[in-house]
């Protein structure tokens, strides 16, 4: 699949951006569903749901975002606004922290971490992680909306 081809949402973005947008919104729905599950006391289902969400987000972020971001691209300073650069940097920073924290919590919840890195009270780090994921998703949608290629195509 050519991620640089025309997107399926027909909003002026490329295929990779459209896939990233839709998959991250669905990931946000899955994470929110998982929060509802844990509130209802279904801890084992919550652990599996969160594990799937973190693994999927890690794969999607690496494949659809990191690898594409590292590809050399022609600079077009006129099309790139300061707002876009600030949004993109903030999205990358918050998203990176969210994914790394999500991986850490998932490894802990599945008993993979050594004893000295383990913790008993899951609520604070999980709440922070959820908030960071939701903020990163929101910023990602905003980045998509003000994306220079998309804005010039409309």
Q: For every residue of 27-51, which 3-state class applies, written as one string? A: HHHHHHHHHHHHHCCCHHHHHHHHH
Residue 153: predicted pLDDT: 43
- Contact 93/134 with Cβ under 8 angstroms? no
Higher pLDDT, 100 or 64: 100
Residue 148: predicted pLDDT: 59
Q: Is the pTM of this model over 0.85?
A: no
Residue 152: predicted pLDDT: 44
**C-alpha pair distances (Å), 147 with each of 4, 51, 52, 75:** 14, 31, 29, 14
pLDDT in tens, 82-112: 877 888 889 999 999 999 999 999 998 888 8
Mean pLDDT for all residues in the chain: 85
Sorted by where each begins, the domain ranges of the chain are: 15-153
How many Å separate Cα 64 from the centre of its chain? Answer: 10
Lowest mean pLDDT among 13-17, 59-63, 76-80: 76-80
Q: Given a cut of 70, is residue 75 above it in pLDDT? A: no
Q: Given a cut of 80, is residue 53 above it in pLDDT? A: yes
Residue 95: predicted pLDDT: 93
Going by the DSSP 8-state scheme, the letter that residue 71 receives in this structure is: S
Residue 96: predicted pLDDT: 93
Average pLDDT over residues 139-153: 72
């Amino acid at each position: 699949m050519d991620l640089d081809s025309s997107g399926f949402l027909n909003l002026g973005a490329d295929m990779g951006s459209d896939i990233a947008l839709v998959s991250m919104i669905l990931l946000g729905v899955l994470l929110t569903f998982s929060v509802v599950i844990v509130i209802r006391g279904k801890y084992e289902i919550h652990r599996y749901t969160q594990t799937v969400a973190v693994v999927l987000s890690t794969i999607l972020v690496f494949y659809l975002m990191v690898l594409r971001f590292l590809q050399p691209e022609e600079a077009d300073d006129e099309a790139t606004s300061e707002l876009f650069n600030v949004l993109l940097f903030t999205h990358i920073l918050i998203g990176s922290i969210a994914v790394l924290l999500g991986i850490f919590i998932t490894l802990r919840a599945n008993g993979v971490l050594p004893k000295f890195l383990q913790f008993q009270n899951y609520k604070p780090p999980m709440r922070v992680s959820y908030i960071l994921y939701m903020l990163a998703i929101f910023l990602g949608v905003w980045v998509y909306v003000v994306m220079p290629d998309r804005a010039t195509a409309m």
